[in-house]
Structure 1
Amino acid sequence: MSVVSLENTITLAISVKDRHASANWYSEMLGFEVLHHFDEAGWSEMLTKTAGVTLGLGEQVEPTPGNSVPVFGIGDIATARRDLEAAGVKFDGETETVEGMVSTATFFDPDGNAMMLAQDLSGGT
């Protein structure tokens, strides 16, 4: 029995200098489809060819090559975080929310690898 119940989605988040240029590259080279660009949040998401897996492009001035953060979809981020913290899982700061879009919380596995929980607040799929 797991501490939390994840949804059937995962987003592989990477940092890039220019989300729009990167989205074009992933579209042309790998056939990924842009789901949305959230310019106010510096975030874009692309539908990959694998069911339930999206690619998230986080815009940064100095991206970290080779760094990918798996983002696991969750129905209730507050409860999941509470349960994981009670089990000794360490989180990086507070849960962050972009109203009407998403709530996220970054946590670490025992080896220090960053992962993230994300609750969709858009009302969509």
Structure 2
Amino acid sequence: MAGNEKVDMVHQNAIHIETIRKEQRHQKLHTEFSINPRMKLHVLPDKPMAAKPAEVIGENYFIEAFHRARQEPTKKYAMPMTESQEIGWVSAPLIPPNRGDKRLNFSRTSTDITKHKESALRAAN
């Protein structure tokens, strides 16, 4: 189409019908709903003078979904979901700690020279 030609009502209606058909082709009808895991649930107590309701048994699915939403990301997912989660994802030490290994533990040691210098510094103060 050239820039000068105007689209008449018939063409506009045809474009509109085609758009609606494309949208309807890709639509899904959702029939299963669940709670939003990011929403905080506040449990409010009953009114003091209200009659006591019968014991309400909650569905296990909602209780499990609530507890799953409150877990740490490392327990919820097998792999990090974002790049920022990759930092610190593996928090377990790569090798088991061994305090007797002198290559990895540099504990404070003192010799005759360091003891003498330490006592001289204490005396100066």
Normalising by structure 1, we get a TM-score of 0.18
Q: Which has the higher helix share?
A: 2
Greater RCO, CA 8 A, separation 6+ = 1
Larger strand proportion, structure 1 or 2? 1
